[in-house]
Every structure is written in structure tokens, then in C-alpha cells.
Structure 1
Amino acid sequence: MTMDNTAAWAGLLRVHAALVPVLDQELQQAHGLPLTWYDVLLELNSAKDRQLTMGELGAKAVVSRSRTSRVVDELTKAGLVERVANPADGRSAFARITAPGRARLRAAAPTYLAGIEAHFTSRMTPAEARTVATALEKVLKR
């Protein structure tokens, strides 16, 4: 492994560790919405029929697979998500975003996007942001 490889990996970890708590705090202060909730709502809202199985959600959301179920439970208690039986598989259920969940997501989106801009992309040129996005997508596609 080269120094550049190690530096890229270390940089990614440091940026994640530094920015996630900041974005979480901004969302909680402005909207009472933790970043983990926002992420799950965002994934559900952009999914077909605005719903995903727990397995699909665990694969897409930034929260760990083991924490996904707990976050969905919290969102369900808050009325932002509902669990719906999966007619194709009686052993699983869908998590589906509710109308209040969509409203909370829409209300929080400007704060989330402004945070990304202020703390992340404003520190690089548009070309650098494209390069970072492209490189990270390659890693995710494996």
C-alpha cells in the first residue's frame, strides 16, 4: 500500500468523523431530526413506492444494518414511517415513509444540503467534488 492510498483512506475516515456529528447537530437543532432518521427517510422517499424491505434499507442506508431496525422502530413511533406487510414474502415487511415523514424530510432538506455545502463541497472546486464522487462510486460498485 502506498502513502497516497493510506492518506486517502485516513482522509475519508477523518472527514466522516468530523462532519457527521456536525450535520447531525444541525439537523437536530433545526428540525429535531437526527441524521440517521434523515438518511432512512431519504432512502425510503427515493425508493419505488416509497418503501423498502428492511434488508434493502439496511443495504442502502448509511446506518449499520443492525441499527436499521431500531431506527425504523423510532421513526414508526414518531409517525414518520410505517411497517407494511410484504405480500410476496410473509416473513418480511416493508418500511414505508408516511406523509408526515415526507413533510419532515422536505422541511429538513435545505438544512441538510446547506450543511453539505458549508462543511464539505465549499472546500473544493466543482471538478474536485466530481472527482471525489466518481472515485467513491467506484469503490461502492466494487
Structure 2
Amino acid sequence: MAGELFVDLVRVETRLWNAVDARLRDEHGIRLGQYDLLTVIAGRPGCRVLDLVHEVAITVGAASKAVDRLVAAGLCRRVANPADGRSSFLELTPSGVRALSGARLTYEEEIARWTSGLLPPRILEELANGLRTIRAALEAEQGP
């Protein structure tokens, strides 16, 4: 049972990611990974690359390259950290704010289509609680 659950969980995550990614790309010209990072940056004043690493569970190298791509696309910028000249903070540019704002409803609609559009609220709540428990245990053991 646990093995089948794992396979289903991975397949659902992959297909759900692909569905949301395709819609964001088609309607807003951004990828789901970019949307995810923009959301983290927007929600954390003084956000650093290391904050993205911890929040999204990616390597420092991957986070740094992803930020480079966001900067090149004009969606965010690095701002010098006045307390430490060797580091910088990340902030959305006006284009990044518009991209995130425009994509938010699309993201929410597509997620709802494949979750609350298919399952009753009680089942979704139980699923969310179970996944939070597993995530918390993994983060406690492996780190964020």
C-alpha cells in the first residue's frame, strides 16, 4: 500500500505541476517554477537566495541560477545588503509584481480544477493534513 501511495503521489505531483505550468506559460509567459520563486520573494521582505533554498528545497546552485534567470527576464532584482556587502536581497521588479499578480488567479483556478473540482472538502482536508504531517517529518529529519 505505501509503495502504491508513493507512486500515485509522485505521478499526481508531476501531472499537476505540468498542468499548472502549461497554463501559466500559455497565459502569462512564466513557468510554475518561476511563479513559485516569485511568490516566495514577494512574501519575504529581505529575501535571500538561501531563503529560496530552504523554502523550495533546492540546492544553492539551482536557486542562484533560477534567480539569474528571473533577473535576466526582468522579474526580480538583487539589492545590496547594507549590513553585508557580500550578500544581496531579492525583490520583485514592477514587471515581476505584474507577472505574479496576473498569474495568481490562473494558478488558483488550475489548482482548484484538479483538487476541489474533483474531491469533496472533507477528503481534501484529510489529504492536506496527511501531507503536512509527512512534510513536517521529512523537514525535521532532512531540513527544509
**TM-score, length-scaled by structure 1:** 0.86
Query: How far apart, CA to CA, are the structure 2 residues paired with 1:98 and 1:28?
Result: 19
Partner of 1:12: 9
Deviations 1:1-59 (A, max 9, x none): xx2x2222111101011111111110000000111110000111112x2x411111111
Q: Distance in 2 between matches of 1:14 and 1:121?
A: 18
1:52 and 2:47 matched? yes
Pick which of 94-103 and 35-44 moved more. Answer: 94-103
Partner of residue 77 from structure 1, selected from 72, 80, 83: 72
Find out whether 1:38 has 2:35 as its counterpart. yes
Aligned length: 136
1:58-86 Cα offsets, whole Å, 9 max, x none, are: 11126x32322111111111221111222
Match of 2:133 in 1: 138
Counterparts of 1:139 and 1:91, CA distance in 2: 36
In structure 2, distance between residues paired with 1:127 and 1:98: 39
SS in 2 for 1:114: helix
> Relative to structure 1, is the Cα distance of residues 132 and 79 closer, same or farther in structure 2, using a 3 angstrom cutoff?
same
1:94 aligned partner, one-letter code: F
* 1:137 maps to amino acid: R
AA partner of residue 77 (structure 1): A
CA distance in 2: counterparts of 1:88 and 1:8, whole angstroms = 47
Partner of 1:117: 112
Separation in 2, partners of 1:90, 1:11? 46
TM-score, normalisation: structure 2 = 0.85
CA distance in structure 2 between the aligned counterparts of 1:57 and 1:90, rounded to whole angstroms = 20
Once residues 127 and 91 of structure 2 are traced to their aligned partners in structure 1, the CA distance between those partners, rounded to angstroms, is: 31
Note the residue ranges of structure 1 that are not aligned, 5 or more in a row.
Answer: none
Equivalents in 2 of 1:53, 1:130: separation in Å? 32
Percent identity, aligned pairs only, is 31
Shift of 1:126: 0.8
